[in-house]
Amino acid sequence: MDSKTLIFPILAIVLLITQTATGTKESYTNFIKTKCNVTTEPTLCVKTLMPYACTVKNNPRILCIEALKVAIKGTRSAGVIVSNLEKKEGISKYEAVAFRDCVEAVKSAEDELRKTVKIIGHLNGAEDKESQLHNAISYTSSVLTNVQTCIYGFDELEEKANPNVETGISRSMGVIIDLSSNALSLITHL
């Protein structure tokens, strides 16, 4: 056989592998887009989960885990913002109390999300899958309650909170709400 006859089969194999890999990646991204349609913020869902397409593949359980990890990162970032706002000068004693409660609520929210990751991670082999799924939904729902507690703490101050503080709290908690709500929607559709 001459070298020209060998090149065509090799090129055909390379082309086939390339098309298969491209088709597979497209399948993974389509999977995420489809699953994100059930969430409260589908555009945000796609944007935050698309980088994990090759990890998720077409696995809804792994998609939930990645969504929860994204929510944990968002919660951690929001916690840093809340802590920085708390350190600003001119915070009233009422705001200081609301900040302490808010920091605790954010820490609790992050803890609940971590618990949910563990539960979803063990769902495959769980004998009590239905019970564990219920726990995962409960933990993720409690994140939303914790965040609302933080927001209400500032809404219920005896004196009006600094508008910059209110805006910072509102935006930070909004991130947690959106990311956690998306994760919760994906979990409820497992």
Q: How far is the C-alpha of 182 from the C-alpha of 26, rounded, in Å?
A: 22
| Residue of 100, 115, 122, 89 whose CA lies nearest to 169 | 100
Task: Give pairs for 44-47: CB < 8 Å, separation 24+.
Answer: 44/178, 44/179, 44/182, 45/182, 45/186
pLDDT of residue 151: 92
- Residue 90 is predicted with a pLDDT of 81
Euclidean distance between CA atoms 157 and 155, whole angstroms: 6
Residue closest to 48 by CA, chosen among 173, 147, 189, 186: 186
Per-residue model confidence (pLDDT) at position 127: 83
Q: CB–CB of 80/107 below 8 Å?
A: no
pTM of the model: 0.86
CA-to-CA distance for 182 and 190, rounded, in angstroms? 13
Q: Which two tokens stand for residue 79?
A: 């916690």
Q: Which residue has the tokens 């696995």?
A: 59
Continuous H helices in the chain: 3-36, 42-49, 53-56, 60-86, 93-121, 129-155, 163-188
Q: What is the pLDDT along the chain (190 residues), one digit of tens a residue?
A: 454 555 555 555 555 554 444 457 889 999 999 999 999 999 999 999 999 999 999 999 999 999 999 999 999 999 999 998 888 878 888 888 899 999 999 999 999 999 999 999 998 876 888 999 999 999 999 999 999 999 998 888 877 778 888 888 999 999 999 999 999 999 999 9
Domains of the chain: 3-188 (1.20.140.40)
Q: What is the pLDDT of residue 33?
A: 97
